[in-house]
Chains A and B, each alone.
Chain A
């Protein structure tokens, strides 16, 4: 059914649910899986060097933690998965990676860490659905 699944993971509850569902799908279909984490660029034009240094350290620590979490999930469920960390615009990069690895399914959470601005600017999910080169599964977080 699916051969290559790409899943976007940024540490938000919604993306965590997407990762879990993607792992479940990969296990069912035997698909290869790639977890893509998109980090934002460092702030441009800072007023102190330490602003950049500390931002860099915080980003590195955060994504290293997410990488460990994704790998642990893969180990626990017996699904081999790759992890790629990229920097830049999340919707564009998710679509680019999906195209590059010729994924047949892109899995993302309905709302990521940019939720605060999503109402105004549109969610990452909206943009990925519009531009993805393959089928997209948008996973919604249910609050029961």
Chain B
């Protein structure tokens, strides 16, 4: 019975359904609950992955990465280019270097395993940051858009590091870069045309299939050169972001497909390899790496915020939000584990730190540093004279 594909699928979908129900009840994202249930399923029910589960999970991670790229607001990115690049870059570089060196020198990890630690802990979760800002109305302000733009730069650094650090640098890599460049150049025009000609009228979803085709093909080329499929997925998302901004229906369809059938497999699988005994055994390393991540983000983002004249409270809030991580952190850790770069104990440590980094800074930011209405209207380099765009809170 355990080899019957339908029963296996039913077991995984039961966990995914339970995660949805719990998520609705407790108000925590389904992704986090799926990871937690995955941990329980792996440790107590001895769930195993199969080839088809691995594929669905990998594609789920790829689609999440694609969505992360496609959700960028290109206009906002252009408007806030300089401060966003400055804050985003240091927000990537310092935690990357800090966690890498701490894992290598302090905790004695191997060089490549330490690099995975650096990549996994360098991220900022745009989705977590955005959710916090929607709650306070900050997302509609200029500074909110600047923070989001900075998060995209940070994530780009993470994805680039993951895609480049462990790849083979030979002729096939040149071919990969060339193919990627050509596809990315023509993709926005093709996507726009397919949507305009067919997207609005065809239930056979040609525009979704077209994007999946591109993601599958580039994912194949990326893994062929030992890179990671998330790199082309993020770049594809980036170049079609403008198209997606106008076509919310397409975004909705892709997110629905991803959340219904693909990302549950990814997040449950991500939890599956977390070993509960390893959490206890690695508690000190977990605390140490979390401290390194928060400290490095602080050292990097705080002065950058000061340089652009952020008010003190807003700067603390921004720094804490930039310290959050979730999806790319788990993707990086899983990449390391599946490619035998890190052990299961190290994987457990990294995923635990990533999850804690989603929760701890958010709670501190919301509890102690939520900006006032005036602070929220601040625009980097000049206090906002424009009309207030801060939405009233839900409790109003």
Contact = CB atoms under 8 A, between A and B. Distances in A.
B131 A54 contact: no
B252 A52 contact: no
Interface string B249-266: 001100100110001000
Nearest to B359: A45
B31 interface: yes
Contact of A87 (B125, B131, B267, B395): B395
A69 B259 CA distance: 32
A55 B105 CA distance: 44
B395 A50 contact: no
Contacts of A143: none
B251 A47 contact: no
Interface string A93-124: 00000000000000000000010110000000
A116 B135 contact: no
A140 interface: no
Given A44-B28, A48-B127, A54 B394 contact: no
B268 to A, nearest CB: 13
A51 B327 CA distance: 13
Contacts of B32: 45
Nearest to B151: A49
Size class of the contact patch on chain A: 20 to 34
Contacts of A53: 134
Nearest to A63: B394
A117 B26 CA distance: 11
B240 interface: no
A40 interface: yes
A88 interface: yes
Interface string B62-92: 0010011001000000000000000000000
Nearest to A84: B396
B130 interface: yes
Nearest to A60: B394
A38 to B, nearest CB: 10
A101 B289 CA distance: 50
B99 to A, nearest CB: 20
Contacts of A86: 394-395
A87 B359 contact: no
B179 interface: no
A78 B319 CA distance: 53
Nearest to A56: B134
B209 interface: no
A50 B28 contact: no
A52 B127 contact: yes
B29 A45 contact: yes
B358 interface: yes
Contacts of B327: 47-48
A87 B67 CA distance: 28
Contacts of B362: 44-45
B344 interface: no
Given A45-B326, A116-B21, A52 B394 contact: no
A41 interface: yes
A41 B130 CA distance: 14
Interface in B41-68: 64, 67-68
Interface of B: 21, 23-25, 27-32, 64, 67-68, 71, 125-128, 130-131, 134-135, 251-252, 255, 258-259, 263, 267, 326-327, 358-359, 362, 393-395
26 contacts: A40-B27, A42-B135, A43-B23, A43-B30, A44-B362, A45-B125, A45-B128, A45-B131, A45-B358, A45-B362, A46-B131, A48-B67, A48-B71, A49-B68, A49-B71, A49-B126, A50-B67, A50-B71, A50-B255, A51-B29, A51-B255, A52-B130, A52-B134, A56-B134, A86-B395, A87-B393
Q: Which 9 A-B pairs have the closest CB atoms?
A: A87-B394, A47-B31, A46-B29, A49-B71, A43-B29, A52-B131, A46-B127, A49-B130, A45-B29
